[in-house]
Structure 1
């Protein structure tokens, strides 16, 4: 495993590289630290080179508090690719990271060999599921111990606001339909987020496959790790033949 800090505009990115083979960037959800993706990395690093990173203002990455939106975040990902010297790579994102991966594939198509969405949101403003989420979150928070640390939501807010502007683009769905990349959309059957938006995006992309893992939850690897590997690893191996 190799750890490296990369200087980018308004901050420094902590990155982690492990394994050998076709390069893969893992993009975390949140926005937040990438540590929770170790299970996915361990699942695939025997067949590929895995690169993970903490976004600016999260985990071990620094951020000066200025100018951070969707475009800047995507530029950070591109800077990581350039720093590691890869002409292109496989983009795998989980949750919010899957949404970023889709936007990155649109903005930097020549940098992407293939794209994988794991428990992504898709392009939609449907928030009916949030009532249930927030209600359950209140109950769970009551069980947590008290912490002195209070999260700073500057990074989260600025990114989410710019994402909402992005999905309002009138021709966005047309742009997505023109993505010329092998794509894989993995949905968890018991994810609280709706599946229709993920299926919609998958159906728009010509060379795409949609798979729903039965009994899986948002963090698929926690209860369906084997099934996730059976879907993910063949796709990565296929991308390795194109690399």
Structure 2
């Protein structure tokens, strides 16, 4: 547990040995469903925080700015100078913001099946049309946390300097699309093209939550991505 002020404690699981990697799951408002040593990148020390107000972490509804502060509190309390950040789904978007706001603390971003920095109507229409066919996975979820984080998302993506900072960032970012994801991956391709050290990778024949359906492939994919930035 990590103290995050105001009598709030954040739960952080860990496994493995090696360079430090922060692992952020999606949602927002979900427990860290990636907190499993069989899903962690091989040869690295992985850290899996439950977001504020979710799972075993205390606190309540908060915005993205507070989420970034919590990640920095965790890093500082663990005594880690800098780490790579893996994010799945919403976690990918949070990882990008973290890298832009704390570039000295983020060695690289690996964003898997992210939403992207937009509120595009055609993208949303494609998601709504396909979501009934997605496999259902039981994940602990706190609606109030989801709502507060998602409400703050437009405030960030509407910042006038956001795209300038993305175009100027020195943090390498690798975005990975899932072949059978109902979410269009063009926002990830755009980010990979914009970021100076950006890359895009496509994993065919896997769904959005392939950490759940293809755990070995998930682990191999993120291990390969992390190894590129050693």
- The alignment partner of 1:202 has SS state of helix
Runs of 5+ unmatched residues, structure 1 = none
**Contact 2:34/2:211 (8 A) holds in 1:** no
Q: Provide the aligned length of Structure 1 versus Structure 2.
A: 224
| 1:225, distance to aligned residue in structure 2 (A) | 3.9
* More deviation, 122-131/50-59: 122-131
Does residue 173 of the first structure (1) align with residue 163 of the second (2)? yes
The yes-or-no answer on 1:27 pairing with 2:24 is yes
Aligned to 2:98: 104
RMSD: 2.4
> Could you tell me which residue of structure 2 aligns to residue 95 of structure 1?
89
CA distance in 1, matches of 2:148, 2:19: 33
Counterpart Cα distance in 2 of 1:6 and 1:162: 24
Distance across 2 between alignment mates of 1:104 and 1:169: 15
Aligned match of 2:53? 57
- The structure with more radius of gyration: 1
Q: TM-score, normalised by structure 2?
A: 0.88
TM-score by length of 1: 0.83
Using the TM superposition, give the Cα deviation of residue 154 of structure 1 relative to its aligned residue in structure 2, in angstroms. Answer: 2.2
- Tell me the CA shift for residue 134 of structure 1: 5.7
Partner of 2:78: 84
Q: 1:15–1:53: 8 Å Cα contact kept in structure 2?
A: yes
Partner residue in 2 for 1:193: 183
Structure 2: runs of 5+ lacking an equivalent: none
Per the TM alignment, residue 176 of structure 1 is displaced from its structure 2 partner at its CA by 0.9
